[in-house]
């Protein structure tokens, strides 16, 4: 089955700096890679995603990159703000719709 | 349009008791999921249903059963609850044409 590994588990950054979270997946049948943000006490919500036929995608201050050969994908947040503090999850979905998540990264943005 | 609705929101069980967590979505989504969330372990997939009439095991299915009652509803049953099943449980659904998975508000289950 799919195994999604996520690093680091915690990340503390100064406001205005960048944050990078990295994930690897094991199942070659995975073809879609979403990222979710979960604020304290709330449900996870999609922030950005990338399909297997795309190498990079950007949406304002967040971007995601995918290296299919190495089975790596990463989330980049630039110009971090206090409201970016949350838990971030990467995920990988197979073509049979099995959706597996990483263990999460707790991001703290210091003012 | 309520999205994904889970009941109950909170539950305390004694070891050995059984219960069913209910999940319903009103977005006409084909695929539905059950996850458990424990500190430091992320969202672990228990079972999923890619479409009405099918269910498949996820990464941590032991101790659980599921029923895809119809396209809208996907229930999770604990036959004999154990303290190790203390967790927050999330139901999610998605439409294969669009890719975003929508989550319910979660059920906080404590087994004593």
pLDDT at position A26: 93
Which residues in B lie closer than 8 A to residue A43 (C-beta atoms)? 90, 103-106
Q: Which two tokens stand for residue A82?
A: 């206090």
- pLDDT exceeds cutoff 80 at A104: yes
Closest CA to B90 of A104, A25, A30: A104
Shortest distance, CA A55 to any CA of chain B (angstroms): 17
- 3-state secondary structure (DSSP) of residue B17: coil
What confidence tens digit (pLDDT) does each residue in B46-66 have?
Answer: 999 999 999 999 999 999 999
Q: Residue B83 and residue B34: Cα distance in Å, rounded?
A: 19
**pLDDT grade, residue A11 (50/70/90)?**
very high
Cβ within 8 Å of residue B62, ≥6 positions away: none
pLDDT at position A2: 65
Which residues in B lie closer than 8 A to residue A104 (C-beta atoms)? 40, 42-43
Cβ within 8 Å of residue A35, ≥6 positions away: A46, A47, A48, A49, A62, A64, A75, A88, A89, A90, A91
> Which of A48, A99, A104 has the highest number of chain B CBs within 10 A, making it the mutation to test binding with B?
A99
pLDDT at position B26: 95
* Range A19-42 average pLDDT: 95
CA dihedral B51, B55, B57, B59 (to 10 degrees): 40
């Amino acid at each position: 089955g799919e195994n999604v590994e996520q690093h680091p588990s915690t990340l503390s950054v100064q406001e205005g700096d960048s944050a990078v979270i990295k994930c690897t997946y094991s199942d070659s049948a995975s073809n879609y890679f979403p990222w979710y943000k979960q604020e304290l006490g709330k449900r996870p919500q999609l922030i950005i995603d990338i399909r297997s036929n795309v190498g990079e995608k950007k949406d304002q201050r967040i971007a995601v990159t995918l290296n299919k050969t190495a089975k790596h994908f990463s989330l980049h947040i630039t110009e971090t703000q206090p409201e970016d503090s949350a838990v971030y999850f990467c995920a990988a979905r197979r073509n049979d719709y099995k959706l597996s998540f990483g263990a999460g990264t707790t991001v703290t943005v210091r003012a | 349009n309520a999205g994904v609705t889970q009941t109950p929101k909170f539950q305390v069980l004694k070891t050995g008791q059984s219960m069913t967590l209910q999940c319903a979505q009103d977005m006409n989504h084909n695929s539905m999921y059950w996850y458990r969330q424990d500190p430091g372990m992320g969202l672990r997939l228990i079972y999923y249903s890619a479409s009405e009439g099918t269910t498949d095991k996820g990464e941590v299915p032991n101790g659980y059963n599921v029923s895809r009652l119809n396209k809208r509803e996907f229930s999770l049953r604990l036959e004999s609850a154990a303290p190790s099943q203390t967790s927050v449980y999330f139901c999610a659904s998605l439409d294969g044409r669009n890719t975003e998975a929508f989550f319910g508000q979660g059920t906080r289950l404590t087994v004593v």
